[in-house]
């Protein structure tokens, strides 16, 4: 099987596995959940709005009638919600094979979470950092388990970790705050994989990005840019069912290794079939990764049991 031909049909059976997919009521997360359910996994749709989650369950069952799918309320912008969701997931699922950290927000107006974090950093990075940390014992107790971190091409666009102002209290740039959060995703993945390896854990951490995909993540795009995106989107971008392939491959391909990064094979990685790609040099700065890890623990009060 060549990399260029890899499609959702190549996802191996997931029978007996439990997969938790954040932000799975729409877009990339929905198609990821749909495919995993079709391959026999019990899929937990971890979503902010349970009603939308139940609607997604019905849409999955309309194409996969015997889908084993459930809904878990999870608001990644609230550490209280993340802790509650993690408690409930641990109680219901003695094993978790896949944790796919897919949910996110992109370039919204300035907003602060209930815990005092800038929304994009708090949701995209810190929320998933906490969820992963609280579920890690269950994951590492499951042979062959994986944590998939969904990043973005946006990490390359002036991406940096602004330790002097992580919450953008001095000034706010939507795009730079987004780039920071997605760079943080990658740094978290690489630092987590390093810890898993050192501990000899049976779990790996893998990153993926969807290229340019038309999804609800684009809802905060500046109004002036929307007409252009409607014209160029079908040319340079792709449908969520294709955009989800890199994270599906990262989650299920038996040839995948920890610390890898998967994305589309097309021009500028905007679209195409999933292949190994490279994140920028900054994302591999171990000193910054470790500093971010320590700061994330301090901000959230969550430490990892490895």
Give domain status of residue 306, yes or no. Answer: no
Give domain status of residue 186, yes or no. Answer: yes
Which is nearest to 187 in space by CA: 209, 217, 168, 161? Answer: 161
Domain span at residue 59?
Answer: 3-299
pLDDT digits (tens, 9 = 90+) for 39-88: 999 999 999 999 999 999 999 999 999 999 999 999 999 999 999 999 99
Provide the token pair at 142. Answer: 């499951």
Give domain status of residue 305, yes or no. Answer: no
Give domain status of residue 73, yes or no. Answer: yes
- Residues facing residue 60 across a β-bridge: none
| CA 254 to centroid of chain Cα atoms | 19
pLDDT digits (tens, 9 = 90+) for 230-266: 444 445 579 999 999 999 999 999 999 999 999 999 9
Give the count of domains, the chain. Answer: 1
- 212 in Cβ contact with 271 (< 8 Å): yes
Alpha-carbon gap, residue 209 to 99, rounded angstroms: 15
Residue 157 pLDDT class (50, 70, 90 cuts):
confident
CATH number at residue 54: 3.40.50.720
Give domain status of residue 304, yes or no. Answer: no
- List active site positions: 178
Q: E strands of 191-256, at which residues?
A: 204-208
Alpha-carbon gap, residue 37 to 80, rounded angstroms: 29
Mean pLDDT over all residues of the chain?
93
Give domain status of residue 235, yes or no. Answer: yes
């Amino acid at each position: 099987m060549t990399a260029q031909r890899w499609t959702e049909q190549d996802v191996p059976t997931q029978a007996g596995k439990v997969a938790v997919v954040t932000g799975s009521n729409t877009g990339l997360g929905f198609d990821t959940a749909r495919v995993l359910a079709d391959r026999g996994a019990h899929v937990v749709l971890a979503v902010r709005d349970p009603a939308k989650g139940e609607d997604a369950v019905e849409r999955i069952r309309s194409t996969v009638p015997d889908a084993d799918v459930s809904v878990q309320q999870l608001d990644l912008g609230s550490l209280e919600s993340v802790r509650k969701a993690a408690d409930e997931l641990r109680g219901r699922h003695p094993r978790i094979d896949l944790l796919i950290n897919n949910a996110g927000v992109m370039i919204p107006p300035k907003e602060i979470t209930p815990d005092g974090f800038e929304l994009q950093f708090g949701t995209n990075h810190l929320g998933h950092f906490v969820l992963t940390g609280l579920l890690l014992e269950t994951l590492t107790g499951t042979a062959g388990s994986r944590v998939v971190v969904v990043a973005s091409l946006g990490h390359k666009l002036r991406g940096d970790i602004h330790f002097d102002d992580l919450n953008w209290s001095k000034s706010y740039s939507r795009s730079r705050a987004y780039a920071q959060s997605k760079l943080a995703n990658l740094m978290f993945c690489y630092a987590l994989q390093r810890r898993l390896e050192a501990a000899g854990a049976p779990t790996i951490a893998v990153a993926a990005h969807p290229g340019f995909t038309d999804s609800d993540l684009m809802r905060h795009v500046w109004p002036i840019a929307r007409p252009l995106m409607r014209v160029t989107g079908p040319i340079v971008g792709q449908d969520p069912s294709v955009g989800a392939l890199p994270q599906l491959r990262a989650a299920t391909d038996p040839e995948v290794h920890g610390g890898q990064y998967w994305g589309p094979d097309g021009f500028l990685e905007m679209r195409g079939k999933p292949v190994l790609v490279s994140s920028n040099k900054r994302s591999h700065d171990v000193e910054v990764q470790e500093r971010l890890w320590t700061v994330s623990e301090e901000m959230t009060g969550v430490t990892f049991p490895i």
